[in-house]
Chains A and B, each alone.
Chain A
């Protein structure tokens, strides 16, 4: 490993995303200090020939064994970032190490650790499933291993399709074939670029199960997605990228805790057309034709103001028959982040 990489690795815990992790157990802290990140991206930029700047100085560490979800709107730079790490796109500036191997100087060692499932359903049309998956294993420098290919195909419910031409498969099955190809050489890192784009709900759930099983087997997974639900469901950490800049990297739970806002909804006994003057400018909002009162508050604030609010409502003669609190979803957080970045 180069000195620079070692520096990066040792300084990894100081980045934004990892600060949160440091608050967890001491054992976890020791593990993370000792274990260098499996991927280190340093000051990575990409400007296309058209002049479009797809990435602007991205610095990011991916931890071993985690599921890292990269969120961002269309054109944010997610696929470009993956493309550079995997060797498909040339970076304009910056460096990337995979398990300590520079992706340019030691491309063989770096690439042999990576499996990539691209966003597009790019498959051979006339090859059989078995042939195309075996081809991928060979391409990544591994000797033939029919037992492993069989296991991968069975795990992905492709075994009964192994002799079928790929062109005869459904879109969902083709997506599984792409995953099988990426897993054929037993990678330690798996990039899933929009793995569930355009697949039905059932298949999406299947994909989640597959990803969880891969994580359990020790594979590090980097996932890009438009579906916030997907990141919320599976990711350990979340990175948000917008217009080529990494806006945030954070533990998922920490992110939701820090940025999540809660709403208290009071179901009123009587409809109200307006709030009393004393209660205005308190973050209150009448909803459902005046039969509900919604109070938005920050969970991180020292005082949420709920006690005072309830006291003041009672003093104003506003009574309620029920109440409910809801926490903002990752989707709300994401939308707010991207909106604020504009």
Chain B
């Protein structure tokens, strides 16, 4: 295993985060904090509790998940797309490094950034709203699993995209709507039966439900199902990445 290479990529990507601190960390933290201020302090006090949880606190897992998904995708997709865009990918392809090591470096760094971000948002939320974590281990497990899975997904997007528009289109047009409609701000049980059934086709529902369960012990779907869906998506992403490196799709001529 070329651990020097994994470390080099990881450090290179993390250095980019610190260099762009405003964009990478502060900006998503600030925008998510605004949700807490608006829904937690201003509007939240006028909304009834959901499943016995204060509304401001109820939306915290969903909002962390929203940031986690979008930032994991953004970090990982940009991390691999930029070398392709500027041409420095030649060095990665000509180095004595395996696909697994490349993925470990890029996805590891992207997931690390997202987890740091998620934890900062969590700390910020704890200041703004009454927060409790019923299952800390599972909370961290869902956080890490989701960050890794969606960083892998972002990595795939970064290889698939051949322009900046494509890089943005999936996070903006698919992930964000799915997250908003995946129960970030409400319990799926509050919807009419028809829309409850439709929601079951939204994979983000399972992520948010499982993550919320780790906080408050309440869930829209069973925790086992949430975990299984997350793992299934992880396996799907791993298989796609394996196929990409096997065929050289969008990487090699």
Q: Taking the complex as formed, is B8 at the interface, i.e. its CB lies under 8 A from any CB of chain A?
A: yes
Partner of B253, one of A89, A126, A139: A89
Minimum CB–CB distance from A278 to chain B (whole Å) comes to 61
- Cβ of A277 within 8 Å of any chain B Cβ, yes or no, is no
Check B12 for interface membership: any CB of A closer than 8 A: yes
CB distance from B163 to the nearest CB of A (A): 18
| Residue in contact with B4 in the complex, picked from A108, A114, A122, A143, CB distance below 8 Å | A143
Stretch at the interface among A23-31, A80-88, A213-221, A267-275: A80-88
- B-contacting residues, A93-137, CB 8 Å: 107-112, 114, 116, 118, 120, 122-127, 131, 134-137
Complex contact A136–B86 (CB within 8 A): no
How long is the Cα–Cα vector from A142 to B87 in the complex, in angstroms? 23
Residues of B in contact (CB 8 Å), total 26
- B19 / chain A contacts, CB cutoff of 8 Å: 126
Q: Are B96 and A108 neighbours in the complex by a CB distance under 8 Å?
A: yes
Least CB distance, A98 to chain B, in whole angstroms = 11
Q: Taking each of A86, A88, A181, which has the highest tally of chain B beta carbons within 10 Å of its own beta carbon?
A: A88
Measured between beta carbons, the chain A residues less than 8 angstroms from B242 are none
- From B15, B86, B97, A139 is in contact (CB under 8 Å) with B97
* Contact of B252 with A114 in the complex, beta carbons under 8 Å: no
**Per-residue A-contact encoding for B87-123, CB less than 8 Å = 1, 0 else:** 1101111111110000000000000000000000000
Contacts of A118 in B (CB 8 A): 87, 90
Set B5, B12, B97, B252: member contacting A88, Cβ < 8 A: B252
By the criterion CB–CB under 8 Å, are A135 and B8 in contact?
A: yes
The 8 Å CB contact of A114, one of B2, B8, B9, B94, is: B94
Residue of B nearest to A122 (CB): B87
Assess A136 versus B7: contact at CB under 8 Å? Given A108-B2, A126-B19. Answer: no
Whether A227 is near chain B, meaning CB under 8 Å from some CB there, is: no
Who on chain B is nearest to A108 by CB?
A: B96
In the complex, the chain A residue whose C-beta lies closest to that of B15 is: A131
**Chain A residues with CB under 8 A of B16:** 126
Query: Is B177 interfacial (CB-CB < 8 Å)?
Result: no
Point out the residues of chain B lying under 8 angstroms from A87, CB to CB.
Answer: 93-94
Report A118 CB to chain B, min CB distance, Å.
5
Interface string of B1-28 (1 = CB under 8 A from A): 0101101110110011001000000000
Looking at the assembled complex, report how far the CB atom of B169 sits from the nearest CB atom of chain A, in whole angstroms. Answer: 24
Contact A88 B90 (CB under 8 A): yes
Contact yes or no, B93 A139, CB < 8 A: no
B87 surroundings in chain A (CB, below 8 A): 118, 120, 122
Q: Is B136 an interface residue (CB 8 A)?
A: no
Tell yes or no: B248 within 8 A of A by CB.
Answer: yes
For residue A80, which residue of chain B has the nearest CB?
Answer: B253
Is residue A140 contacting chain B, with contact meaning CB distance below 8 A?
yes
Name the A residues within 8 Å of B93 (CB-CB). 86-88
Q: Chain B: interface secondary structure?
A: helix
Q: A159 to B98: give the CA distance in the assembly, Å.
A: 32
Cβ of A134: which chain B residues have Cβ within 8 Å of it? 8
Residues of B within 8 Å of A131, CB to CB, are 12, 15
Residues of B within 8 A of A141 (CB): 2, 4-5, 95-97
**Residue of A90, A122, A137 touching B252 (CB-CB under 8 A):** A90
> Which of chain A's residues 197-217 have a Cβ closer than 8 Å to chain B?
none
CB distance from A269 to the nearest CB of B (A): 62
Decide if B96 touches A90 in the complex (CB within 8 Å). no
CB-based nearest B residue for A134: B8
CA distance A131 to B2 in the complex (A): 19
With known contacts A118-B87, A123-B88, A131-B15, A138–B94 Cβ distance under 8 A: no
Task: Give every chain B residue within 8 A of A139 (Cβ-Cβ).
Answer: 4-5, 8-9, 91-92, 95, 97
Least CB distance, A87 to chain B, in whole angstroms: 5
Cα A219 to Cα B94 in complex, Å, equals 18
Contact indicator B4/A136 (Cβ below 8 Å)? no
CB pair A125–B86 under 8 Å, yes or no, is: yes
Q: Give the residue among A88, A108, A120, A138 with the most B Cβ atoms within 10 A.
A: A138
Q: Which of A48, A122, A124, A139 has the most CB of B within 10 A?
A: A139
Known: A88-B90, A90-B248, A125-B86. A48 touches B96 (CB 8 A): no
Cα distance, A181 to B97, chains bound together (Å): 16
Q: Give the residues in chain B near A48, CB-CB below 8 Å.
A: 253
CA A90 to CA B94, docked complex, whole Å: 12
- Taking CB as reference atom, which chain B residue is nearest A116? B94
Measured between beta carbons, the chain B residues less than 8 angstroms from A111 are 94-96
Query: What mask results when residues 142 to 156 of chain A are scored 1 for a CB within 8 Å of chain B, else 0?
Result: 110000000000000
Closest A residue to B19 by beta carbon equals A126
For A138, give its contact among B5, B90, B248 (CB under 8 Å).
B5
The docked-state distance in angstroms from the alpha carbon of A62 to that of B86 is 31
Contact indicator A122/B90 (Cβ below 8 Å): yes
- Distance between Cα atoms of A88 and B8 in the complex (Å): 20
Cα–Cα distance between A278 and B90 once the two chains are bound (Å): 63
Other-chain contact of B91, A109, A110, A127, A181 (Cβ < 8 Å): A181
Cβ < 8 Å to A, chain B residues 227-253: 248, 252-253
Q: In the assembled complex, how far is the CB of residue B6 from the closest CB belonging to chain A, in whole angstroms? A: 9
Binding site for A on B (CB under 8 A): 2, 4-5, 7-9, 11-12, 15-16, 19, 86-88, 90-98, 248, 252-253
Can you offer 9 A-B residue contacts whose CB atoms are under 8 A?
A108-B2, A114-B94, A116-B90, A124-B88, A127-B15, A138-B11, A139-B8, A139-B97, A140-B4
